[in-house]
Amino acid sequence: MAKVLIEGDILLIELSLLDRMLAFHGSFRIPLSHVTNAFASAFEDLGLQFKLLGTGLGVIKEAGIFTTPSGIIFCDISGWKDCLVVETRGERFPKIAVTLDDGVDLNALAHEIMQRVPDGGPVE
């Protein structure tokens, strides 16, 4: 399970030691200016296709880099629980999906993340 924190203008996604070993990847420090979207998603809606690196044990644990119909995604997901998906630009992974501890309101956290993303100004 991951922990998601906002420290200043940085979004921290901290993986447990076991998850870092299973995923072959460390935690994330993403500038909020690189976040384009955050939302809650069901596991099956991620559309995971192929494991590129990491551990793929189906609904038990998915940790690592996977392909989806829309591109590459980093996952740290346990069970059939809903997960938080963070979409980015200018980062190694365009999407990061993580399962959080029980009791964390994914929709509220996603809303808080999006409130903290700096306004990019008017779109032409």
Assigned domain for 123 exists: no
pLDDT(74) > 50: yes
Give the pLDDT score at 101: 86
Least confident span in 23-27, 59-63, 78-82: 23-27
Angle, vertex CA 7, rays to CA 96 and CA 115, nearest 5:
70
**The pTM is what?**
0.85
Give the pLDDT score at 95: 95
**Inter-CA distances, 88 with 48, 75, 85, 97, Å:** 18, 14, 10, 11
pLDDT(16) > 60: yes
Give residue 8's pLDDT band: very low, low, confident or very high (50, 70, 90): very high
Assigned domain for 121 exists: no
Residue numbers of the domain that contains 94: 2-116
Two tokens at 56?
């793929």
Give the pLDDT score at 102: 83
Assigned domain for 124 exists: no
Assigned domain for 65 exists: yes
Least confident span in 12-26, 81-95, 104-118: 12-26
Residue ranges with strand state E in the chain: 2-7, 10-15, 28-31, 35-41, 51-56, 61-68, 71-78, 83-88, 95-98
The tally of domains found in the chain comes to 1
pLDDT(56) > 70: no
Assigned domain for 12 exists: yes
* Helix (H), strand (E), coil (C) string for 49-63: CCEEEEEECCCCEEE
